[in-house]
């Protein structure tokens, strides 16, 4: 009986430590929803400890939603319409300008009236995804549009052995319904400068697209150097003042 006491108390202590560690680990693990929300706040797309040279994966989170151009909404304040004034966006009602830091949050498009667009992580067009050739690209997509289903096509990628990640609605996958998430997984091949875009209706011209850049593995014969400091990304699109459904 005397020997059982210490054994029992050791077992209890061990059990308590295991329970505590499990709870701690569960707390430390970031859920997909937390990642989606984080990138929605920052406007970026991919985890910083992925997508770099030497990483096996490139993991990104895209939240799709509608937004209005030429409109500003401060925290806890009513929305304010904007108008162009000498190359800047100012308040429509009283012509007052905004602080520079606020201006970065506006979706201006061409500054012509307020119209509905689709944003990716709050950005129009969507954030750049930059992966390294050969990496496994994992992109989680969350559709927060109220009534529109969607898919995302990874333009320029061959999708060998992963046809279900090609993002062609009704052909390679069922569309992602409002409120649903879907995860694309594919190999980053071939390298090059391309883009991702919606593959349903007029969603691409409404803003659901963004740069997709695959950097070649070092040491390859390529026509021009693509990793210089001066390197920047430019992306252009069709733009309609009328509703895109009417223009199609």
Interacting span for Cu ion (CB under 5 A) from 35-43, 61-69, 84-92, 153-161: 153-161
Return the residue matching tokens 């997984």: 185
Residue placing its CB nearer to Cu ion in the complex, 132 or 204: 204
Residue placing its CB nearer to Cu ion in the complex, 156 or 178: 156
Residue placing its CB nearer to Cu ion in the complex, 47 or 199: 199
Interacting span for Cu ion (CB under 5 A) from 26-34, 65-73, 121-129, 149-157: 149-157
Q: Which of residues 124-143 bind Cu ion (CB under 5 A)?
A: none
Q: Minimum distance from CB of 194 to Cu ion (Å)?
A: 8
Closest CA to 193 of 237, 230, 158, 226: 226
Q: Minimum distance from CB of 197 to Cu ion (Å)?
A: 6
CA 2 to chain centre: 62
Residue placing its CB nearer to Cu ion in the complex, 60 or 157: 157
Q: Minimum distance from CB of 128 to Cu ion (Å)?
A: 16
Tokens of 162: 């992963």
Return the residue matching tokens 């304040």: 77
Q: Judging by beta carbons within 10 Å of its beta carbon (0-12, 13-18, 19+), is residue 206 exposed, middle or buried?
A: buried
Interacting span for Cu ion (CB under 5 A) from 40-48, 97-105, 152-160, 164-172: 152-160
What sign does the dihedral 10-12-13-18 (CA atoms) show? positive
Residue placing its CB nearer to Cu ion in the complex, 115 or 153: 153
User: Residue 56: left if φ>0, alpha if ψ -120 to 50, beta else—which one?
Assistant: alpha
Q: Minimum distance from CB of 169 to Cu ion (Å)?
A: 13
Q: Write down the number of H helices and E strands in the chain.
A: 4, 11
The three-class DSSP label of residue 245 is helix
Residue placing its CB nearer to Cu ion in the complex, 51 or 212: 212
Size of the site for Cu ion (CB under 5 A): 2
- Taking CB under 5 A as the rule, does residue 155 contact Cu ion? yes
Those residues with Cβ within 8 angstroms of residue 56's Cβ, 6 or more apart along the chain or in another chain: 135, 136
Binding site for Cu ion (CB under 5 A): 153, 155
């Amino acid at each position: 009986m005397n020997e059982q006491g210490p054994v029992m108390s050791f077992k209890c202590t061990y059990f308590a430590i295991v329970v505590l560690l499990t709870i701690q680990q569960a707390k430390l693990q970031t859920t997909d929803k937390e990642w989606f929300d984080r990138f929605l706040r920052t406007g970026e797309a991919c985890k910083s400890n992925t997508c770099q040279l030497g990483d096996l994966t490139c993991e990104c989170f895209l939240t799709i939603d509608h937004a209005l151009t030429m409109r500003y909404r401060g925290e806890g304040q009513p929305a304010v319409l904007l108008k162009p004034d000498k190359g800047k966006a100012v308040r429509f009602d009283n012509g007052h300008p905004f602080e520079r830091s606020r201006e970065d949050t506006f979706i201006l498009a061409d500054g012509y009236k307020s119209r509905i667009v689709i944003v990716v992580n709050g950005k129009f067009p969507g954030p750049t995804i930059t992966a390294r050739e050969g990496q496994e690209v994992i992109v989680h997509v969350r559709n927060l549009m109220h009534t529109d289903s969607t898919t995302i096509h990874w333009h320029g990628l061959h999708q060998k052995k992963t046809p279900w990640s090609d993002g062609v609605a009704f052909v390679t996958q069922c569309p992602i319904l409002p409120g649903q998430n879907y995860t694309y997984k594919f190999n980053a091949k071939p390298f090059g400068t391309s883009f991702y875009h919606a593959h349903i209706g007029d969603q691409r011209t409404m803003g659901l697209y963004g740069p997709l850049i695959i950097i070649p593995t070092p040491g390859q014969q390529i026509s021009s150097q693509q990793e210089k400091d001066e390197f920047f990304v430019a992306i252009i699109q069709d733009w309609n003042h009328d509703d895109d459904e009417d223009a199609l």
